[in-house]
Amino acid sequence: MLDFKFITMRTKIVLMAVIILFMVGCKKPPTTVQDLSLVSGAVYPSTIDQLTSIVATGYANYRSENLNGFQLLTSAFACSEHIADETGPMNVGDPSGKAPYNNASPTDAWITNIWAGFYLGVTDANNTLTAESFYEKNHAVAGDSAMLKAIRGEALFLRAYYYFQLECFYGEKYIDMKQPASSDANILGVPIYTQTPSTLAQTQSPRATARQVWSLIISDLNNAKTLLPNSWSGDNIGRVTSWSAKGLLGKAYVFTQNWDSAKTVLNDVILNGNGPRGLPLQLMPFNIYKQAFNSNVYPGVLNANTDQKFNQESLFEIEVDRVPGNGGYGIFGNAPNLYLTTSIGLFWSPSGFGDDHVSPEVMGYSDLYVHDRNLLRFGFTVPLDSVSVSALVPNQNYNPNSKDSGYISTTFVPSAWYQHVSDSFRNSNGADPRLYVCALEPYMDTVMFSQTGPASDRYKRPVSKCFNVPVPDSYHGWSFKKYQTLDASLNEGTVEQCDGANYYLLRLADIYLLYAEACMNTGDQATALSYINMVHRRAYGQAAPYTTPNNNLTDPAHDYQTLTDATKADPSDVNLAHNPLAYERYAELFAEGHWWFDVCRWGNSTTGTSGNYNTDFGKNEGTYYGNLLPNNLPSQWNNVSSYSYPIPSTEINSNDLVSAQPNGGQNPGY
Amino acid sequence: MSKKRFLKAIMLFVMVLSLQVAHAQLKTVTGIIKDDKGQPVVGATVKAEGSTEATKTADDGSFSIGVQPTTTSLVISSVGFAETTVSVDNASTITIKHKDTELADVTVNTVNIGYGTQRRRDVTGSIASVSGKDIKDLPTTNVAAALEARVAGVDVTTSTAEPGTTSQITIRGVSSLFQPNPLYVIDGVIQRSNPVGTGPDAGSNINPADIASIDVLKDAAATAIYGASAAGGVIIITTKKGLDRKPVINLSTRYGVTKPLLYKLLDRDDFIKLQSDIAPNSPLAHNTETDTLPNTDWVKAMYRNGIEQNYNLSLSGAAGPLGVAPTANYYMSGVYNKQTGVFIQNSSELFGFKLNTDYKVTNRVKVGETLDAYQRSTTPVDYAVDPTGGSAPAPRLNAPFLTQPILAIYQSPGVFATDPAGLSIPNPIAQIVTKNRNITQSNIQANVYGEVKLPLALTFRATLGYTIFNEQGNSYEAPYVAGSENIGFAKLLKDMVSYKSLLNAYTLAHDKSYGNNNINAMIGYEQYQGIYNAIYTSETGVYPASFSYVPLTGAISNIANGGYDPQPLVESEFGRINYNYNTRYFLSASVRRDADYIKFGPNNQAAVFPAASAGWIMSDEPFFKKALPKVNFLKLRGSYGSIGNSNIPPYRFLAGFSPSNPTPTAISNIASFAPNSATPVTGFSQTSIANPNIKWETTNEVNIGIDGELLHSKFFFTVEWYNKTTHNLLYDLPIPTSTGFNNFFDNIGTSNNKGVDILLGYKDHIKELNYNVTFTGSFNKNKVIDLDGVGHPIRDGNNDYGQGYGGMMANDPLTYTAPGGSFGQFYGLKVLGIYKTDQQAIDRGITQFGKTPHAGDLIYYAKAGHTNVTALDDTIIGNPYPKFTYGLNINLHWKGFDLAVLFHGVQGVDIFNGVKPYSEGLFLQGNTTSKVFGASNLGTNGVTSQPEIGQTGPGGSFTPDNQANNNYSHANSYFVENGSYFKLQNLQIGYSFSNKLLNKVSIRSARLFVMGNNLFTITKYTGLDPELGSQDLTTNGGTTNRGIDGPYKYPSVRTYSVGLDLSF
């Protein structure tokens, strides 16, 4: 029995009001949703500019934290090849302090990070290829075709470049591609991805063989060289050209001992190539070369460098912008999107004397300095005890109030004898002149800490021994100069806290030496010697012509007479003392990220046993450099493992097709 | 049925009913039914004597019944109470008495089952309850922490004492790599977090003092009514309501001191002694003139005693015309809580306000609202990673191992000391005090409901809820120079995040008895929508020490990040039917369909979650009463249900482009193709790989339980067995970095949890001593059934020092999850002993990490055929999940005194003591504890029970451990310890003053208490506190990184409090 009497008018009103009120807030379910934090791939890229923004990631990635933004030159190259010594175990790039001992572990952060960094570059390139196809299919308009071709070429070049680096660091061995493929069928390279994965299955890829990796590099570069323009103009001169592709292709041939192909393509570059601005390739004269790694924003300070960006020696270069106001702690500052720099300058920064004229101060972190044995390699043989504290003498000219003159001194300076000897090494070719392009000598070189601080801070200061060396008297402690900012401390507020110059990733001097190596290995000793000498001769300030190959000019005072002639390196230096080719690669390309690859390819090849090829090349290096910081222990070189970096355990743990390979996908010895 | 049609149907139905007005001549009797303690009795049956009219009492005990004019008496019956007959004229307040042979007094007699209540004896799912009065005085503002050791199957660990943080709560084991927190339902409203960004922290937005009762829904059948959100269990909180016509004012206060549990690091002399032992040639070694060196106790400088204080004031009551049950009730309260952390410059302050009111508009229409507002202001230990770029380093450390006692904090007042050249030791005090941080979170939640009683025993209820959450973060980082750390310029960070959400919920319930067939059915619709809006800004070169954005010349402003998303939307339809015959045989079934539009792609947005359960009260059977008269109550019940989990980040089914190419901490996404002045190109990259096929994670659970009471209900117990399997485990699968991406979202496997929950209780009195002992215990075993979608083990856990310093086992994952085992087992080298002699190692012929070990090095197990031990020889070395957890709760009352003791125990668990490598070994150039002097070969030591910490070679060179045998630098079983413990979690002693005394000063009651928390622990664990949760809840939901005691952890504390509760 139902009774509805209680439902009064009042109740009805309330009820209706409640229902109406509460229905108001209801929301219709959406038909589609978007991730509003992203730009949808369904519409992007729809203009050439947007497509350019995708190819730009491949260039920008080189400056990322995992690569030269932090770890590549600083941790991987510098420590492995010993151009640098880590001052302490707190080195942020290598907190375990293991990198210098050539005894990396698969879990070391820098091992993991540069792997990820290079592969991000590969992905950037693959993304570009996908985006280019998407754009071409959906949005291309008449007149786009030349640009699309070029962008495809850039993507292929960048992919080849990143695989090149990956293979050289992580590949099991360098192979001889003259040999039949069966001879290196078991030599593992790195995993290959030629497209962006879109399914889980596509994310798994085994390590390809070294031959497959090199073949991909070579085929990408062959394609790139036909797609890329010979030069760019205007705001695009920093983009890669067909000459960049040919240069890198020649390098890939040399690294795989394919001498004949190398000679053909390198010779083409040398004879016909042009630089970024469309002018013929040629070596910079030494007076420009010695400034090319440090550009000063402020005219009239230090050696008054002019800007040498994208010059006629350059084939592939990364732009570093020292625009005031775009500063920060390398890439780690407060507006990272604005910075066109890396962080090498931050970690390699020089040390100079502070306001008390006694204590060293850093211009950045100064975590790394030039390992002392490098001085010996460049021929600087002044004994260490001449710059110990007890050997210093009071500075007769010391004037604490002399700031206005633009120069101050320290209260103590090296003895007159040292100054004299040092001067002769510097000015009379006692040492290889390139030493002074690469490094800063304490007391004798100068830096400036500030450009915007109070006037009393804007003066030159002598370079000190590296601030962070543990026992100063036990080290020469020179600071790096290449790529360093010498005219402003990175601690300075808003000045361009930035690396000192553009990074040359491929330049003509490298091409000359590669060509020489190809000639040498095909019996053409004379041409080999001639190209080695051209690079060598430039360092001694000999007049050009640097543009004419096979020139007959000689410089008997400095030229190497044979391919086994003595170099500036100390006679005890097994690898370099009588090896002009190796020496020139070391000295010419010092601190540019090349020497480690040379050490490994000469020491760790499937076939090479003559000439530079010597399985103990790496061990000799380890022995030569003696004790290494941060632990002041000798190298732990192991011929089985040290030539290849370990595959990062994060990769093995997540890539089943790698972990299923022999030795768990790991390189031998790890 | 589409949502729209469904709604139309409900509306039409309701309208038709409301318009069809019938006329009959009944008279209405209203009243309220209370038990002998004055508590309202919910769900009691009120029948007209000698007639068929009947009704049930509402949540507040009130009833309204239409009776024939001839009816003179009402018969009140309710399970657990004696049947009572009262005259219609005396019906306004009816008191009924408990029968003493029922569950009645053991726990609250009704249970909130979600969208309705049920008498406890009728419940067929697994539901445990905690009374608000048991937890109101605990020194926490977090519900989860208050539940610690009180409910079988509910594992709560509180491993950090950081003010404002929450405890980790797991109900019936971990099952997921996105292990969800329990769903909190407060007064019928689901507390949803923000799926897009920062949002309200469910469980922290309720003042424990406002809680009347907590019902924990554990099994799938009970939780399935909450469907897709219920995989972590459901915690239903019912807050207090006004009861009494006479307003009650309640004031409670509490004040406590917290003392941190800390390590003691070496002082100057011991530190120098250690340097002499390891590096005899170092300048420090054997230096006797050291008394001029500083002797800094960094631990003491970073930590202090903290304070917790809490003040709570409430006013409650009921109002309405006299002679009938009150037509309105109200409860309002305010809370103030302040905690200063044991870490310097760390505190939290909370203000809260709550209002609950219900009004009876007519006899059939009820409306009410709840209003909650709180503001929590925190000075955190560490600000979240600066979303606009790098932030200056900050320590968050148990002990600052990377310090040296011989370094000073300040070289002169206000000027931080500088390290000597060659040393790069951070100055943690500089890192801490130069940062001025403040996060203010405010949350306002307002809900209104209207409830209409309709014909056909139907009740329609509509709820409208609105929540606004706002977070404002300020962080000012001052420049400083401290040795190797040189922060060049001041930096100000500000962020504002808001999240607003709107809830619409409708239910239609039918509750009626047809003879002995009792039916309670309910259908409902619920929609939840949110809007997220955020901005993060930063500026460098600002005017010092201010949050006010005063730029100096050359300041760099950078509005770098933000977010906006109006899309969060969850729509749900649900229904349930509870049926019982003669209140003896019970059946229940429910189904819920949830659709989440931002978590899953078009084909997987919605999922359906059904459940069914049954119960049988055996003790009501005549044969049973005959056979086992001593058993007062015995119920068998069983259930099966399915629940879901979508606790994942949104939009993982989509991919897109973003102007970022982020690597670990910095963004590098621009390139310039020409010198200097050219306009750089901002790079756009694809940020992730989309998986359009991801779908709900589903858990199916069987639960079988038995509830019983013996010995005149003095002894009571519940034993439950459950078996739940979770399918389609969601996982942010790490993919090879060689793909250029880090993760791929996918459903990858299956896990299982089996266990038994036990509740045993005994209550009685010895003369005036009343006592009540409750034991809760739970056995649980989690197991990964398959990870077919991964194909390889999941590795996680680390023992890093944090913030770019690497660690003693840098990048060495400590746990291993693979099919057949439990989640996150410890993984490393198995230690067989310590080499006693060099010869012993040579004889064994197995190198370790490529080197021949020495005397004093650990002997590692090598897998068959291995002649060199490496990470490939790692094996499972421990299990972080306890086999058995238990709580023991003892309450004593004697005259005015009361004593409450809560013990918490864990049995059969391992801990990875990651602090040990730091406290017994040597980290970089840092400090350690005096245990280091027990190391093998150190100083004059021979081989001891501790492995050597590095090799001191000829000439005094020191080879660090990570270049040698990795005794302290690779995960191994030397660091795995038995983590079982038995802890006195809470001890409360109170005295309630007698009423006579108080009445004179108009105080109804007064209780003074003293309390201690975490007072002592019995354990073999050598670290500071074996109560450990997960290391990182953001990685795999914490499931795979549990039980790791690392150096990067806020310490736990011991708390001593006094308090006073006054009622006026």
**Which chain A residues are closer than 8 Å to B813 by Cβ?**
653
Contact between residue B209 and residue B335 where contact means Cβ atoms under 8 Å apart: yes
CA torsion through residues A281, A283, A284, A285, sign:
negative
DSSP at A386: G
Q: Is B24 exposed, middle or buried (0-12, 13-18, 19+ CB in 10 A)?
A: exposed
Count Cβ atoms below 10 Å from residue B339 Cβ, excluding itself.
25
pLDDT of residue B135: 87
**For residue A296, pLDDT beyond 70:** no
Interface of A with B in 309-348 (CB under 8 A): 309-310, 319, 321-323, 325, 329, 331-340
* pLDDT at B539 > cutoff 90: no
Instruction: Identify the pLDDT of residue A334.
Output: 55
What per-residue confidence (pLDDT) applies to B783?
95
A50 Cβ under 8 Å from any chain B Cβ:
yes
B955, pLDDT greater than 50: yes
Q: Say if residue B9's pLDDT is above 70.
A: no
**Given this model, what pLDDT does residue B18 score?**
47
Nearest residue on chain A to B361, judged by CA atoms?
A11
More confident residue, B52 or B403: B403
Q: Which residue of B has its CA nearest to A307?
A: B675
Residue B158 makes CB contacts below 8 A (sequence gap 6+) with B145, B148, B167, B168, B1027, B1029, B1052
> For all residues of chain B together, what is the average pLDDT?
87
Residue whose entry in the numeric block shows the structure tokens 């509740």: B759
A160: which 2 tokens?
A: 């080849």
Contact B668 A38 (CB under 8 A): no
The shortest C-alpha distance from B557 to chain A (Å) reads 8
* Contacts with A18 from chain B: Cβ below 8 Å: 367, 450, 452, 462
- Residue A337 distance to chain B (closest CA, Å): 6
Token pair listed for B169 = 């709560």
Does the pLDDT value for residue B104 go beyond 50? no
Instruction: Classify B909 in phi/psi space as left (phi over 0), alpha (psi -120 to 50) or beta.
Output: beta
Over residues B983-995, the pLDDT tens digits come to 999 999 999 987 7
Who among B674, B683, B738 is closest to A60 (CB)?
Answer: B683
User: B683 vs A648: CB contact, 8 Å cut-off?
Assistant: no
| Chain B residues with CB-CB distance to A22 below 8 A | 450, 462-464, 504, 506
CA distance A395 to A318: 43
List, for residues B818-841, the tens digit of each pLDDT value: 999 999 999 999 999 999 999 999
CB contacts of A10 in chain B (<8 Å) are 361-362
Q: Look up residue A552 and give its two tokens.
A: 């007959």
Query: pLDDT tens digits, residue range B737-765?
Result: 999 998 999 999 999 999 999 999 999 99
Mean pLDDT is lowest, of A54-68, B13-27, B209-223, B946-960, for B13-27
pLDDT number for residue B310: 95
B96 within 8 A of B82, measured Cβ to Cβ: yes
Q: Which residues of B touch A89 (CB under 8 A)?
A: 424, 924-925, 960
Radius of gyration of chain B (CA): 32
- Contact A471/B at CB under 8 A: yes
Q: How confident is the model at residue B275 (pLDDT cuts 50, 70, 90)?
A: confident
B185: pLDDT strictly greater than 60: yes
Which chain B residues contact residue A87 at CB under 8 A? 422, 424
CA A75 and chain centroid, separation: 11
Q: Which residue of B has its CA nearest to A53?
A: B683
Q: Average pLDDT in the A551-562 region?
A: 78
Angle at A25 between CA A22 and CA A26, to 5 degrees: 100
Q: What is the mean pLDDT of residues A551-577?
A: 87
* Run of H or E including B501: strand B491-514
Per the model's pLDDT, the better-predicted residue between B490 and B378 turns out to be B378
The mean pLDDT value for B664-672 works out to 74
Give residue B661's pLDDT.
63
- The answer to which of A29-38, A239-248, A615-624, B581-590 has the lowest mean pLDDT is A29-38
Q: Is A52 helix (H, G, I), strand (E, B) or coil?
A: helix
The interface predicted TM-score (ipTM) is 0.88
**Confidence at residue A264, expressed as pLDDT on a 0 to 100 scale:** 97
Chain B nearest C-alpha distance from A9 (Å): 10
Q: Which of B738, B827, B866 to mutate to test the interface with A (most CBs of A within 10 A)?
A: B738
Q: What is the pLDDT of residue B924?
A: 82
Sign of the torsion formed by the C-alpha atoms of A165, A167, A170 and A172: negative
Q: Is A148 on the interface with B (CB under 8 A)?
A: no
A 559-618 near B (Cβ less than 8 A):
none
Predicted local distance difference test score (pLDDT) of residue B84: 79
Strand partners, B570: B528, B596
Of B684, B793, B811, the CB nearest to A53: B684
Instruction: Give the residue with greater pLDDT, B6 vs B176.
Output: B176
Tell if the CB–CB gap between B567 and A30 is shorter than 8 Å.
yes
Scanning every residue of chain B, which has its alpha carbon at the shortest distance from the alpha carbon of A66? B663
Is A204 within 8 Å of chain B by CB? yes
Greater model confidence, A381 or B14: A381
Work out the pLDDT band at B383, boundaries 50, 70, 90: very low
Q: What per-residue confidence (pLDDT) applies to A213?
A: 98
pLDDT digits (tens, 9 = 90+) for B874-916: 999 999 999 999 999 999 999 889 999 999 999 999 999 999 9
Partners of residue B488 in chain A, C-beta under 8 Å = 329, 491-493
Which residues in chain A have Cβ-Cβ distances shorter than 8 Å to B25?
Answer: 5
Residue B538 is predicted with a pLDDT of 80
Instruction: Inspect the interface and report whether the beta carbons of A323 and B677 lie closer than 8 Å.
Output: yes
Q: Which of A617, A485, A631 is nearest to A174 (CA)?
A: A617
pLDDT at B542: 78
Q: Write a three-state SS string for B638-681.
A: EEEEEEEECCCCCCCCCCEEECCCECCCCECCEECCCCCCCCCE
pLDDT, tens only, B111-159: 899 998 888 888 999 999 998 888 888 888 888 888 988 999 999 988 7
At B325 the pLDDT is 77
Write out the DSSP string of B364-408.
SEEEEEEEEEEEEEEE-SSPPP-TTS--------SS--S--TTS-
For residues B505 and B511, what is the distance between their CA atoms, to the nearest angstrom?
19
Mean pLDDT lowest among A274-288, A530-544, B569-583, B967-981: A530-544
Instruction: Assess A66–B contact: CB distance below 8 Å, yes or no.
Output: yes
pLDDT (mean) for B437-444:
91
In this prediction, residue B13 has a pLDDT band, given cuts at 50, 70 and 90, of low
Q: Report the percentage of chain B scoring pLDDT > 70.
A: 91
Sort out which chain B residues have CB atoms less than 8 A from A495's CB and list them: none
Which among B21, B462, B654 is the nearest to A34, CB-wise? B654
Determine the average pLDDT of the residues in A623-645: 92
Residue B804, pLDDT > 60, answer: yes
What average pLDDT score do residues A125-148 get?
Answer: 95
Distance CA B81, CA B36 (A): 10
Residue A542 reports pLDDT greater than 90: no
Q: Mean pLDDT throughout A214-230? A: 98
Tell me: the pLDDT tens digits for B44-57?
Answer: 888 887 777 788 88
Cβ of B661 within 8 Å of Cβ of A61? The answer is yes
pLDDT at A339 over 90: no
DSSP tally for chain B: helices H, then strands E: 11, 62
Contact yes or no for A654 and B666 at CB 8 A: no
Structural tokens at position B759? 């509740």
Q: How far apart (Å, rounded) are the C-alpha atoms in residues A32 and A36?
A: 12
Task: Determine the pLDDT at residue B105.
Answer: 38
Q: Is A536 on the interface with B (CB under 8 A)?
A: no
pLDDT at B329 over 50: yes
Integer Cα distance of B131 and B106 in angstroms: 10
What single DSSP character describes residue A648? P
Task: Map tokens 């601030």 to a residue.
Answer: A467
Contact between chains at B491 and A334 (C-beta distance less than 8 A): yes
Pick the residue of A314, A368, A654 with the most B CBs within 10 A to test the interface with B by mutation.
A654
Pairing of strands B491-514, B458-477: antiparallel
The yes-or-no verdict on residue B24 having pLDDT over 60 is: no
Write the residue in B489, B663, B738 that is nearest to A655 by C-beta: B738
